[in-house]
Structure 1
Amino acid sequence: MFALLADVTVTSQHGPTDVPVQALTLDSRQAAPGFVFFALRGAATDGHLFVPKAVEQGASVIICEDLPAELQSGTAYVQVPDSGEAMAHMAAAFYGHPSRNLQLIGVTGTNGKTTCATLLHKLLRELGYHTGLLSTVQNQIDEQVIPATHTTPDAIRLNELLARMVEAGCTHACMEVSSHAVVQHRVTALRFVGGIFTNLTHDHLDYHGTFDNYLKAKKGFFDRLPKSAFALTNADDKRGIVMLQNTAARRETYSLRSAATFRGKLLENAVHGLHLEVDGQEVQFRLIGVFNAYNLLAVYGAAVLLGEEPQEVLTILSGLLSAPGRFEPVLSAHTHVTGIIDYAHTPDALENVLNTIADIRQPSQQVITVVGCGGNRDGGKRPIMANLACQGSDQVVLTSDNPRFEDPLEILRQMQAGVKAQDLPRVETIPDRREAIRRAVELAGPNDIVLVAGKGHETYQEVQGVRAEFDDKQVLREMFELLEK
């Protein structure tokens, strides 16, 4: 066990010190002889409450911030200032520091993380590299798909996945880095060769408390990058340069509007894709929307900083599609209604999607938007989301997203507060999401556009702790077929 504690600050240690370690866990129910149990303080519960259960299950080592009143003989107790930080270092050591054997690139920001990480993963694979992916949509080890449960897994799972990538022969890995992951030390012990910042907008204030804390969490990722890494930031985001203030990494920028390391110019944004000038080279891309122009620039810049040839990078990027549930089209064969599934669940993301639709729609096309807000998340954005939907749509259907443990009707009441009096005739409220999508399709005429926002790639709806099967894309297809009969 001593080797696992090499990078850990230890306050005190009690019990046997020559304990063989077979596994790590933060779930007391999984504890067994040879296991190290980490007592983490979470937002909802305190892992210290489950130390007795872990000991009862036979855990050999307890990592905790506060020692229990009674110490059981035969069990090792290691007291540390921060259990999460200790877990990060011990997990990395237990799995042989896999990030040191990979070209690991992290992507952080409010919006665009999944698209950037996925595009970079696809690009590197097209360039011939064995590459891993850790994203909100899914984790991948080359072609092997592993379901994802969090934007960034806990430190144990994260290092296990990275170790599996190394074992499978991967040389590169692309991962999303959430603000939660930075604050909770999930990525503390990882070695990154590069970091990408996309943008920063209103999100996760339910967890971070203030926007300043949220900003500091994102910035913390860049603050920890080594001198050997690159830090690539969006110079057009007003907080982009802030991310680089204290980093030791090589500072690089990308921009559509000003001088930058990687400079892009928007020539056309149409339904068939983006036409950009990138570092003086005109390129047609299959992705749509100004937000995707930034994503493409970020991925291009990262690849060049990794040493790839710019022309080859642009050629491959021009043929790639985005991640599932990110401005994903679903077409009606008979009425020619265009459905768009998008994960937009923040005000900025919703505004970006609606602005993109506004750029490519024909004057005769109506936009009908289905949107909700998740429960047990930042409530301040709910009226803002409803107001933005009204501003960018001809018709709006407010509905449930993932209400989780909140009353969906109360969430909708908070959203309705953002609807202005003059917009009320254009807004319907239907709590049942399936019925809301059906109504949106019913409202759409030939060639109109139906945007279903908020859940994107998710194939479930979470209500009172239960995840029921629900796929926006599948439901939209069903409603197209049903109403076309």
Structure 2
Amino acid sequence: MRSPAISAHLELLESLNVNQFKTNSLEVTQGDVFICRQGNNVDSHEFVEEAIAKGASAIIANRAMTLAIPVMVTESYYQSLALVKAFYRHPHLRLKHVGVTGTNGKTTVSDCLNQILNRSCRSAYIGTLGAKIADFDIPLDNTTPDGVTLLNLFNEMGKQRIDLNIMELSSHALSQDRAGFVSLQVGVITNIGQDHLDYHKTKDSYVQAKLQLIDRIRPQGTLVVNLNDPHADAAIERAAQRVNILTFAIENSQADLNATQIVSTLRGTCFDLVFKEERITVNSPMPFDYNVENVLAIVAVLISLGWTLKAAGNAIELLKTPDGRAQFIELSNGAIGLVDYAHNSDGLGSLLKNVRAHVRNRLIVVVGVTGDRIQQASAIGEICAQYADLLIFTSDNPMGAEQSELFRALTFSISNTPHFEISDRAEAIKLAKQLSEQGDLIVVCGKGNETFQYVNDGKGKKQRYMGDLAALQRTEEF
């Protein structure tokens, strides 16, 4: 039974030609309904006039307001969210959902799953690369958007007859319960390292946020977990007797799905995939051991959805590496460029360790640290210095932090590795190209396919940036 207030609000919404619901006044367009929320730092009730000026047709608020357009008052943001669900007729319930979390690998696993599943059904993706629904690419500000934005996306998926939604679930989103109303058929934990301590404060809090994914899996759904991860036992214990568990690992016969006999090159990997008594050989177009783990996670999800091991292995061989993830380019001087999203200490360590084994001459690394990860900066600098022959430190979403402070933190533990500090990211990449020669490998880390920088405090404003791949591709006289 709906409350009289919700019924009245629904009747009003039905009388409007509602485009979408928005929680950010800057994103409001003609016909949108603006939803106000009292946050810890910002009260969006203060931006209703801006929303109206941009074309809002109505306001959903948590307090009475006298405005030139209709106002619907709810008790809380969560009641507002319930109103949106009712208006859209609960679009999330008409979809099957796969949720992917982990310190590293979320985007590769999710995007590749979407590539594969779109060949046999109609799937969609939500994550770091934005939202991909049918032929539409929709940019997003966060890996996992707020609940209202998710409902907008789920409603669009319904219009496009989507069957399955694959979404990345960040630690922020899990701890803030942004997608708490979404019941997962499959939940994936790729790995749990250490990240975002500016927000979570402690490693235990970060791990707890990741493990909350398990509580989002519906009864008799499936948890896919990396058995080689130190937190696998805690995840399995939390999931036991409520959901099915499918484990994967490299060179670990105790895992349900195991990869052995790995041969890796810069252009891909070949390995044996073992599931129960079945063994097949797979040629993956994605290089490096950590991508073998990502492939295992992908195959485990496919198996949990009813695929055979052979069908899953065949699908892996047709994959395209996601944009900005282990993306190679050959340079005119005989050097090779590699663009990758690795940006935290765990991801960078794994990437550079794998890359180092394939370098014919020198390894040149272009890297920065985001303003919210300054606590990791010294470790990041030290890790990069361990593997690189030459380091060029640059900007990577400073988010209001002084670049000089970020450089100071990055170089704190570096002694012998030659290095430069270039604030302009495109100029830093240009210098790497100028200093490179045949046989060198230039690894540009941190931004992947992103074509912007967050320069000011937080993520409120983006500054355009050409992108790492474009900077490597620039043809200039050196």
- The reply on whether 1:305 has 2:304 as its aligned counterpart is yes
Tell me, yes or no, if structure 1 residue 295 matches structure 2 residue 294.
Answer: yes
Per-residue displacement from partner, 1:179-215 (whole Å, max 9, x unpaired)? 1212222211112211111111221111222222211
Distance 1:429 1:404, change over 3 A: same
1:161 aligns to 2:153 (yes or no):
yes
Q: Work out the CA distance in 2 between the residues paired with 1:313 and 1:93.
A: 38
SS in 2 for 1:463: coil
The offset of 1:76, in angstroms, is: 4.9
Q: 3-state DSSP class of the match of 1:352?
A: helix
Quote the residue 2:181 is aligned against.
189
TM-score by length of 1: 0.86
**1:16-64 Cα deviation digits (max 9, x unpaired):** 777623554324575999946331414x42346557988998855423x
Q: Which residue of 1 aligns with 2:338?
A: 340
1:252 aligns to 2:250 (yes or no): no
* Contact 2:84-2:148 at 8 Å conserved across structures: yes
Q: What letter corresponds to residue 273 of structure 2 in structure 1?
A: V
Structure 2 residue aligned with 1:431: 423
Separation in structure 2 between the aligned mates of residue 317 and residue 191 of structure 1, nearest angstrom: 27
Residue of structure 2 aligned with 1:472, choices 444, 463, 468 = 468
Q: Are 1:318 and 2:317 matched, yes or no?
A: yes
% identity of equivalent residues: 25
Does 2:231 correspond to 1:239?
A: yes
Q: 1:477 offset after TM fit, Å?
A: 1.2
Out of 37, 46, 62, the position equivalent to 2:43 is 46
Post-superposition offset of 1:100: 2.0
Secondary structure of 1:222's match?
helix
- Find the aligned partners of 2:59 and 2:429 in 1 and give their Cα distance: 52
**Change beyond 3 A, Cα 1:27–1:458:** closer
The CA RMSD measured in Å over matched residues stands at: 2.9
C-alpha separation between the residues in 2 aligned to 1:308 and 1:382?
42
Aligned to 1:26: 23
Whole-angstrom CA distance in 2 between matches of 1:123 and 1:32: 36
Kindly indicate whether the alpha-carbon contact (under 8 Å) linking 1:41 and 1:48 is maintained by their aligned counterparts in 2. no
Q: Are residues 1:381 and 2:381 paired?
A: no
Does residue 369 in structure 1 map to residue 361 in structure 2? Answer: no
CA distance in 2, matches of 1:221, 1:87: 24
Contact 2:35/2:80 (8 A) holds in 1: no
Letter in 2 for 1:327: A
Q: Which runs of 5+ in 1 are unaligned?
A: 7-12
What is the aligned partner in structure 2 of residue 390 from structure 1? 385
Q: Distance in 1 between matches of 2:25 and 2:334?
A: 54
Q: Report the 3-state secondary structure (helix = DSSP H, G, I; strand = E; otherwise coil) of the residue aligned with 2:231.
A: coil
Compared CA separation, residues 213 and 309, structure 1 to 2 (3 A): same
Q: Distance in 2 between matches of 1:162 and 1:53?
A: 27
> What is aligned with 2:112?
119
SS in 1 for 2:132: strand
For 1:131 and 1:196, the matched residues in 2 are separated by 17
Q: Which runs of 4+ in 1 moved over 6 A?
A: 13-18, 31-34, 51-58
Whole-Å Cα distance in 1 between the matches of residues 199 and 30 of structure 2?
Answer: 32
Of 182-191 and 13-22, deviating more is: 13-22
1:221-255 Cα offsets, whole Å, 9 max, x none, are 21121113211111111113323433332122111
**Structure 1: which amino acid aligns with 2:348?**
L
- Kept in 2: contact 1:31–1:59 (CA 8 A): no
1:358 and 2:353 are equivalent in the alignment? no
Question: Judging changes above 3 Å, is the alpha-carbon distance between structure 1 residues 75 and 123 closer, same or farther for their aligned structure 2 residues?
Answer: closer
Paired with 2:172 and 2:61, the residues of 1 have a C-alpha distance of: 24
Distance 1:92 1:114 in 2: 27
Residues 254-305 of structure 1 show CA distances to partners (whole Å, capped at 9, x for unaligned) of 1113211212224211223111111121212111011100000000010010
In 2 relative to 1, CA 422–312 (structure 1 residues): closer, same or farther, beyond 3 Å? Answer: same
Would you say the 8 A contact 1:382–1:418 is kept in 2? Answer: no
CA distance in 1, matches of 2:6, 2:306: 49
Structure 2 unaligned spans of 5+: none
Matches within 5 A, 1:44-83: 44-47=41-44, 59=58, 61-63=60-62, 76-80=72-76, 83=77
Match of 1:103 in 2: 96
**In the alignment, residue 372 of structure 1 is paired with which amino acid?**
G
1:91–1:156 Cα contact (<8 Å) kept: yes
Larger displacement relative to structure 2 (286-295 or 318-327)? 318-327
Alignment size in residue pairs? 458
Partners of 2:150 and 2:194 in 1: how far apart? 27
